[in-house]
Amino acid sequence: MNHTPPRSPSASGSLPPKGARFALGRPVGETAKWLKFAWQNTLRNRRRSLVTVSIAALGTAAILVAGGFALSTYKGLSEMASRSTGHLIVARPAQFDKDEDTPLQHGLDEAQALRQVLLELPQVRAVLPKVEFSGLISNGDKTAVMMAQGVEPDAEFAVKGPFLTVQSGTLLAGDAAQPQVLLGADLARSLKATPGSSLTLLASTTEGAMNAMDVVVAGTFSTGVPDVDKRAVYTSVPVAQQLLATQRVSSLGVFLDRMESIAAARERLAQQFAPLQVQSWEQQAFFYRSVRDLYNRIFGALGVVIVVIVVFVVTNAMAMAVIERTREIGTLRALGTLPAQLLRSLGLEGMLLGGAGALAGALLALAVSVLLYVFPVDMPPPPGRSVGYPLNISIHPTLYLLTMGAMVVLTLLASLWVARKTVHMPVVDALAHT
């Protein structure tokens, strides 16, 4: 008499009925059965499953918080750097890679005409000239070295926004009756200068002669970088050109409508304005690049460590589950269950644990990010700076999806790796396991 082998016991939650297959393209109901049985198996030892899910959740949250912090820092530094120089910088090639023997030796001629051409381009929002020079600044009794910039006051501060903090007085006025300067806070303190004080600028002209000009202090400012505040001076482009006896400017800062336009705009400008050179803000942002490279190494190493810990915990949990169910697996094999079916079931268990942990970790990271926006926390000043910055965690959908997906895949692979040997064990050996 032929007897049909009995079906695998569903009451235990071990496997769906014999003959079922889990694969893409199979009926949804069949797939749901496999997921149901896998979920039931995870509940057989709830304490172990809870620990596994918790570790996966903490690992996911740590990666998302660290990654969000890095992305937020990159965004803040990129905005600060691009506001300082412009999204693109147009200058002669020597301006970027050669020292000047005299002020503005490598400066731009006919800058105003070039500026008008740039402003006609559809992606360009503003074009700001800059005159960079060094010299001395004196109050009559004391003299200090200055690193000065000539800017267009009204356009400069309107386009760039609050890229510096005015501590006293006002910003430069474009229609001032007297030549004005804006001093770094530490430089002003050294010269005992306050708004309204009279100072003298001394610099070499483009011909190599010394020139002097009396100016009035409009105000003082702080950039948050002490080394900059000890030397920084802002004045208007006409005052700088008069002091240096030239009509040249050092460069033109091009501000675009959005950051995403930089690559295309740079390529277009480089072709249109050859032999001039066009650089992006990132090429000039040395501090940004150094911080980005440092954070990439730190958080990259942190991510690897977290992934190793999570995979180890999941592997250990699944190994214990498989060992405890060795005889059960042998029984199912004897009843006709295929090793591939067993692997799929056990793999789904690991995937469910990892998925639950990834989801919980994502919710935890999201909660932390929102709380930091509602209740701001200030970070201590980074090296070389005197002012801290708010601790913000960016909520980036792509980062969340990639992290959660990676966590699910890794836990699935860890489960399959642990179970592969046991499901292929000879039936007799599995049944004799104690």
Residue 384 has a pLDDT of: 58
Asked if the model's pLDDT at residue 11 lies above 60, the reply is no
- Rounded to whole angstroms, how far apart are CA atoms 162 and 379? 20
Question: What region, left, alpha or beta, does residue 224 occupy, with left being phi > 0 and alpha being psi -120 to 50 degrees?
Answer: left
Mean pLDDT of 16-30: 47
d(CA 130, CA 367) in angstroms, rounded, equals 44
**Cα gap 147→232, rounded to integer Å:** 5
Strand, coil or helix: 225: coil
Beta strand 232-236 pairing with 143-151? parallel
Q: Yes or no: say if 365 and 371 are a contact pair by the CB < 8 Å rule.
A: no
Q: Which residue has the higher pLDDT, 1 or 199?
A: 199
Task: At 82, list the tokens.
Answer: 């691009």
Quote the pLDDT of residue 21: 41
**Are 393 and 68 in contact, with CB atoms under 8 Å apart?**
yes
Per-residue pLDDT reduced to its tens digit, 178-205:
899 999 999 999 999 999 999 999 999 9
Please give the pLDDT value at position 202.
95
196 vs 210: CA distance, rounded Å: 25
- pLDDT tens for each residue of 85-105: 889 999 999 888 888 888 888
* Among the ranges given (87-91, 141-145, 289-293), the one the predictor scored with the smallest mean pLDDT: 289-293
Q: Which range is most confident: 24-38, 51-65, 76-90?
A: 51-65
Q: Given pLDDT bands bounded at 50, 70 and 90, which one contains residue 253? A: very high
- Region of poorest pLDDT, from 86-90, 226-230, 327-331, 393-397: 327-331
Residue type, 312: F
CA pair distance 308, 59, nearest whole angstrom: 10
Please give the model's pTM, rounded to 2 decimal places.
0.73
Can you tell me the distance from the alpha carbon of 172 to that of 153, in angstroms, rounded to the nearest whole number? Answer: 6
45-58 pLDDT per residue, tens? 788 888 888 988 99
Q: In what helix (H) or strand (E) does residue 406 lie, and over which residues does it extend?
A: helix 397-423
- What is the pLDDT confidence band of residue 13, given thresholds at 50, 70 and 90? very low
Model pLDDT, residue 162: 60
Of residues 415 and 242, the one with the higher pLDDT is 242
Q: What is the mean pLDDT of residues 71-89?
A: 85
Size of the chain, expressed as the number of residues it contains? 434
Three-point CA angle 248, 222, 183, nearest 5°: 50
